[in-house]
Amino acid sequence: MILMLMKILMTSDRTYKEIKEQIIELCRASRSAKELSFELGINKIYLVNNYLKKMVEEGNLGRTNPAPRARNQKYYTVINNKE
């Protein structure tokens, strides 16, 4: 309980960009929305609607399953080699 409260307090001080960077780092190994939600201390539905969907559309993340609402859906970092 205390750990969860600490995560919530820490989340409120982070910017949108900082959270996106953390998601990219965490998804170097594919993770579910539930796992990311726990790691970041952010509500799962909020995380999916405000971060994961947008990051997939932007090309920062990929889905392990083409169906967006698949039960076993995981997200992974897409590495762009456009240098």
Domains and CATH numbers, the chain: 2-77 (1.10.10)
pLDDT tens-place string over residues 25-79: 999 999 999 999 999 999 999 999 999 999 999 999 999 999 988 999 999 999 8
Question: pLDDT-derived band of residue 12, with 50, 70 and 90 as boundaries?
Answer: low
Q: Binning pLDDT at 50, 70 and 90, where does residue 4 land?
A: low
Give 9 or 55, the one with higher predicted confidence. Answer: 55
User: Which has the closest alpha carbon to 77: 66, 62, 64, 58?
Assistant: 62
Rounded Cα–Cα distance for residues 32 and 9 (Å): 23
For residue 68, what pLDDT is reported?
87
At 80 the pLDDT is 74
